Chains A and B, each alone.
Chain A
């Protein structure tokens, strides 16, 4: 909706932070794996028959084999760069070329040990590829979808599937495509907030993840003119240079929520529920509540912190409106987002939130989430986001208010294709979480909650583990990932003949479903 006071698409100065804001460059640069041995899809075995003749070094187009000048022996192959058997289609391959028959290529057993149906090892490895290079992964990796047998993994854009009778339109040159989104569609006179890509970073609290993870998310949000979110653990001072790209989350525990943390941002998010543990409050295990975390949250170190569910001041839509009004009063220039999970009546909840004055309705589906949650909740409680989006979108359309509110989807958006499918199903944009963690090295081992926390230093406040990565590296990985996704979004829109991502919203006619929806599985 056009707003009389604000030019559509131009950021309004009102509501910007008074603190000096740091600019982060939107520049792709290589950011290789921070571990010594990167994991790829294939593994190369070189036998003792090798006499270091160097033939493989000449043959390989991907820099897998190395024998630096002056070295007598070939180095251990960098097998994560290897594209596998497909290599032979592009010319001679090391395995065939080796005069000693010393080389073998096999699927990497390590890759097999990583991943699961939702996040396959191909998805993890291709995410790492994007974070390392900043570009769309090669086709030998299945980077578009997982293998979970439902939801996004069964949905394709028609152009991906031969034989749908779909005739692609004239492609639009990518330079002419806009992936930006205006978040204030209410026409209520509050400032417009524009983001350059239709996605922003999900809330992860300090305490559940390390300070570097939080800062890197904020910095890449700044680089891409979008947002990251504090989560419910308070607002670390080190985030202040990125105020304009932060969302302050107000959650049921109200940990660290203060007037100034509400005043300094452009979006405030009310978290009613979260997908990973819908209907249950947040839970920070005592081990992770270090003195620093406790200070931020105004709590006692070492104690497990529970945030209750639900808000104890909200038992009706009227109470809910009072809540939003309170925030709007404290910060007259901010937009208000309401984050809810996906119960059976999620459509009613969305409409209620709209009438209570929310600018953004953020649906968090049940399969996503990054923090520790009971397994039973993650798998069974509330519906996956793929069901929630069309349900809410259709209802908002029927109510005649769809174009007055921004609908954001999260909880299981793993790839750029997932994001675009979510938009085609009816969302305006998406929020990502796990994809960002994977980019900075998460292997989805799921032990974020145990003892010292994440063994890879991402979801950990243990000082030794947190030092496993540097801020610059993590920022670069995230900037790269966004770039790779942006590339794919442009490509998809171009193929669909669209000039703007806004045209895609609700275009489920461009999607198709593999098989018959609703078919039960047999043993």
Chain B
């Protein structure tokens, strides 16, 4: 058995201003100065930390971030002076996909690298948009040799990226054709992807590359950023490069391309792609060429086409809400539906096992990774989530996020966005930024194992396309409630 894959997480408190969920209103004028004030009894020391913060505002923690709304102080105060309310600033964060709770849990996971655990059952809506209408299966009894996620058994999260020929090829004199065997094994089914909008920069790319190196995976970076990275990181970087630029790269970019194990080409004409693949093979025979495609309806057509021409790895980029990008910038279906379709079409075309699909955009939580894989992805890309780990609040207006596809090159980040200053500062200290990314991925990895463990599946490769082991809301509701009389919703309003 190989050594168990382990992600080393290190507690790394965030250095950015955090928005807590609850705000406390304290009517101090009426306070009777009770000797056993409820504030002293807060189980989470919220008031103690508030006092510290008042004495020295430079302390890192924002006191109200820690309040759990247990209501003990509110209900216990002798004179009833304390009131809790939901912090409007909290509710204002993010958008309808990157909900405040998503940002909150991502920050916490990047702090500690631990799986979020809480009591008292599930608290959210019954089902929702996109991934929130899928449940994963679990296995009740019939499953030998499993000892829980804390046990002896090894659950593999490795995936293979690269052309996977259905059979080995040999030359007439019996030698193995090496080029047919270029596969890159990633120990986690995640690549660290470039942000979907214009907060790029060499620092951020370097933080991603360091994290990828630590995790044993790959970070995507635009080739001009990749060119600026220290040489020892280049093996962990997949340069994203235009087809034309492969044939005549600048000196530094050439270094990046030569060291890369995976190169993501921006799609061009058939001819351009073919030329770029050829040029890459000449420059770096070991590099696996991939094509980075925007997720549009019918994208499988392009995949089949390119696969015929020898490209076997595809990186499908959805918009930051995980949706297809339609003409004119409108939002299409969610990746949950788009990937299921793509996967099915590739199965029909008989090439599903030969190609690798990496899907990014809208992968906001660990469960999204598991569900995207169930829907047919081999691996996912984490992009916006990595920014969130560094304090980004996905403030829509700021980075042209509302423009689908996001990356409006050169668009200046919004000067008001608190995250920007924070990102810049965070990336000054690359180790800090990388460690928070590693922590987040560590937490995601553990959660993936929880999901796999519950299903009784021992490796993530077998999760791909396992739609029979998922419960889709559209189907189950019809089974369960199809026979109930339907009444218009307004009736009960």
Show the binding face of A for B, using Cβ within 8 Å.
33, 35-39, 43, 76, 109-110, 112-114, 116-119, 148-151, 153-156, 158, 160-164, 272-273, 276, 278-281, 306, 308-312, 314-317, 319-320, 340-341, 343-346, 349, 366-384, 386-387, 389-391, 411-412, 425, 434, 437, 442-452, 454-456, 459, 465, 508-509, 511-518, 520-523
Residue of B with least CB distance to A375: B116
Interface size grouping (class) on chain B? 35 or more
Chain B residues with CB under 8 A of A512? 484-487
- The reply on B175 being an interface residue by CB < 8 A is no
- Contact assessment for B69 and A445 in the assembled complex, using a CB-CB cutoff below 8 Å: yes
Chain B residues with CB under 8 A of A346? 140
- Contact assessment for A36 and B116 in the assembled complex, using a CB-CB cutoff below 8 Å: no
Query: Can you name 22 A-B residue pairings with CB atoms under 8 Å?
Result: A35-B72, A36-B75, A37-B76, A37-B77, A109-B25, A109-B84, A113-B69, A150-B125, A161-B491, A278-B454, A281-B150, A306-B150, A309-B453, A310-B140, A319-B141, A375-B117, A380-B136, A390-B480, A434-B121, A514-B488, A517-B478, A520-B473
- Contact assessment for A278 and B138 in the assembled complex, using a CB-CB cutoff below 8 Å: yes
Specify the main secondary structure of chain A where it touches its partner: loop
- Contact assessment for A459 and B119 in the assembled complex, using a CB-CB cutoff below 8 Å: yes
Residue of B with least CB distance to A412: B121
- Contact assessment for A513 and B481 in the assembled complex, using a CB-CB cutoff below 8 Å: yes
Q: B43-83 toward A: CB 8 Å interface, digit per residue (1/0)?
A: 11000000000000000000000001111101111111001
For A517, give its contact among B68, B137, B367, B477 (CB under 8 Å).
Answer: B477
Show the binding face of B for A, using Cβ within 8 Å.
22, 25, 42-44, 68-72, 74-80, 83-86, 96-97, 105, 115-130, 132-144, 146-151, 321, 323, 331, 365-367, 370-371, 447, 450-451, 453-456, 468-471, 473-489, 491-492
- Contact assessment for A110 and B70 in the assembled complex, using a CB-CB cutoff below 8 Å: no
- Contact assessment for A513 and B485 in the assembled complex, using a CB-CB cutoff below 8 Å: yes
CA of A46 to CA of B145 in the docked complex: distance in angstroms? 66
Chain A residues with CB under 8 A of B42? 455
- Contact assessment for B484 and A366 in the assembled complex, using a CB-CB cutoff below 8 Å: no
For B473, give its contact among A37, A280, A518 (CB under 8 Å).
Answer: A518
Q: Besides A344-B471, A447-B68, 5 other CB < 8 A contacts?
A: A36-B77, A113-B71, A276-B121, A344-B470, A521-B128
Closest CB-CB distance, B384 to chain A, in whole Å?
A: 15
- Contact assessment for B454 and A279 in the assembled complex, using a CB-CB cutoff below 8 Å: yes
CA of A166 to CA of B97 in the docked complex: distance in angstroms? 40
Residue of A with least CB distance to B119: A448
Given A314-B141, A384-B126: A446 and B119 interface contact (C-beta under 8 Å):
yes
Residue of A with least CB distance to B149: A280
Closest CB-CB distance, A118 to chain B, in whole Å?
A: 6
Given A372-B117, A376-B367, A412-B121: A366 and B135 interface contact (C-beta under 8 Å):
yes
Chain B residues with CB under 8 A of A272? 140-141
Chain B residues with CB under 8 A of A448? 118-120
Closest CB-CB distance, B365 to chain A, in whole Å?
A: 8
Complex A-B, nearest 8 residue pairs according to Cβ-Cβ distance, in ascending order? A150-B126, A279-B454, A448-B119, A35-B75, A279-B138, A518-B477, A109-B85, A517-B477
CA of A6 to CA of B491 in the docked complex: distance in angstroms? 48
- Contact assessment for B71 and A445 in the assembled complex, using a CB-CB cutoff below 8 Å: yes
Residue of B with least CB distance to A77: B80
- Contact assessment for B135 and A33 in the assembled complex, using a CB-CB cutoff below 8 Å: no
Closest CB-CB distance, B144 to chain A, in whole Å?
A: 5
Residue of B with least CB distance to A438: B120
CA of A444 to CA of B475 in the docked complex: distance in angstroms? 31
CA of A509 to CA of B485 in the docked complex: distance in angstroms? 7
- Contact assessment for A372 and B476 in the assembled complex, using a CB-CB cutoff below 8 Å: no
- Contact assessment for B75 and A39 in the assembled complex, using a CB-CB cutoff below 8 Å: yes
CA of A280 to CA of B452 in the docked complex: distance in angstroms? 10
- Contact assessment for A520 and B141 in the assembled complex, using a CB-CB cutoff below 8 Å: no
Residue of A with least CB distance to B105: A375
Chain B residues with CB under 8 A of A315? 141-144
Chain B residues with CB under 8 A of A109? 25, 83-85
- Contact assessment for A39 and B450 in the assembled complex, using a CB-CB cutoff below 8 Å: no
CA of A391 to CA of B485 in the docked complex: distance in angstroms? 17
For B141, give its contact among A320, A518, A523 (CB under 8 Å).
Answer: A320
Query: Which of A43, A279, A383 counts the most B-chain CB atoms under 10 A from its CB?
Result: A279
Chain B residues with CB under 8 A of A114? 69, 71
For B123, give its contact among A151, A382, A444 (CB under 8 Å).
Answer: A444
CA of A110 to CA of B116 in the docked complex: distance in angstroms? 25
For A513, give its contact among B115, B456, B473, B484 (CB under 8 Å).
Answer: B484
Chain A residues with CB under 8 A of B137? 343-344, 381-382
CA of A391 to CA of B72 in the docked complex: distance in angstroms? 42
CA of A155 to CA of B481 in the docked complex: distance in angstroms? 9
Chain A residues with CB under 8 A of B447? 374, 376
Closest CB-CB distance, A42 to chain B, in whole Å?
A: 13
Chain B residues with CB under 8 A of A452? 43
Given A76-B80, A113-B84, A445-B69: A343 and B489 interface contact (C-beta under 8 Å):
no
CA of A379 to CA of B371 in the docked complex: distance in angstroms? 13
Closest CB-CB distance, A513 to chain B, in whole Å?
A: 4
For B148, give its contact among A281, A314, A518 (CB under 8 Å).
Answer: A281
Given A37-B80, A76-B80, A344-B469: A164 and B121 interface contact (C-beta under 8 Å):
no
CA of A383 to CA of B487 in the docked complex: distance in angstroms? 24
Closest CB-CB distance, A367 to chain B, in whole Å?
A: 4
- Contact assessment for A343 and B321 in the assembled complex, using a CB-CB cutoff below 8 Å: no
Given A36-B78, A374-B116: A513 and B125 interface contact (C-beta under 8 Å):
no
Given A315-B144, A513-B487, A518-B478: A377 and B43 interface contact (C-beta under 8 Å):
no
- Contact assessment for B489 and A280 in the assembled complex, using a CB-CB cutoff below 8 Å: no
Chain A residues with CB under 8 A of B371? 380
Given A76-B79, A456-B70, A523-B97: A377 and B477 interface contact (C-beta under 8 Å):
no
- Contact assessment for B146 and A310 in the assembled complex, using a CB-CB cutoff below 8 Å: yes
Residue of A with least CB distance to B85: A109
Query: Which of B42, B130, B487 counts the most A-chain CB atoms under 10 A from its CB?
Result: B487
CA of A301 to CA of B22 in the docked complex: distance in angstroms? 35
CA of A389 to CA of B149 in the docked complex: distance in angstroms? 29
CA of A278 to CA of B239 in the docked complex: distance in angstroms? 41
- Contact assessment for B135 and A380 in the assembled complex, using a CB-CB cutoff below 8 Å: yes
- Contact assessment for A374 and B135 in the assembled complex, using a CB-CB cutoff below 8 Å: no
Query: Which of A112, A459, A514 counts the most B-chain CB atoms under 10 A from its CB?
Result: A514
- Contact assessment for A279 and B453 in the assembled complex, using a CB-CB cutoff below 8 Å: yes
CA of A376 to CA of B482 in the docked complex: distance in angstroms? 28
- Contact assessment for B75 and A387 in the assembled complex, using a CB-CB cutoff below 8 Å: no
- Contact assessment for B76 and A36 in the assembled complex, using a CB-CB cutoff below 8 Å: yes
- Contact assessment for B72 and A341 in the assembled complex, using a CB-CB cutoff below 8 Å: no
- Contact assessment for A158 and B71 in the assembled complex, using a CB-CB cutoff below 8 Å: no
Chain A residues with CB under 8 A of B456? 279
For B491, give its contact among A163, A314, A521, A522 (CB under 8 Å).
Answer: A163
Residue of A with least CB distance to B470: A344
Chain A residues with CB under 8 A of B120? 369-370, 434, 437, 442, 444-446, 448
Closest CB-CB distance, A21 to chain B, in whole Å?
A: 32
CA of A448 to CA of B119 in the docked complex: distance in angstroms? 5
For B484, give its contact among A163, A349, A511 (CB under 8 Å).
Answer: A511
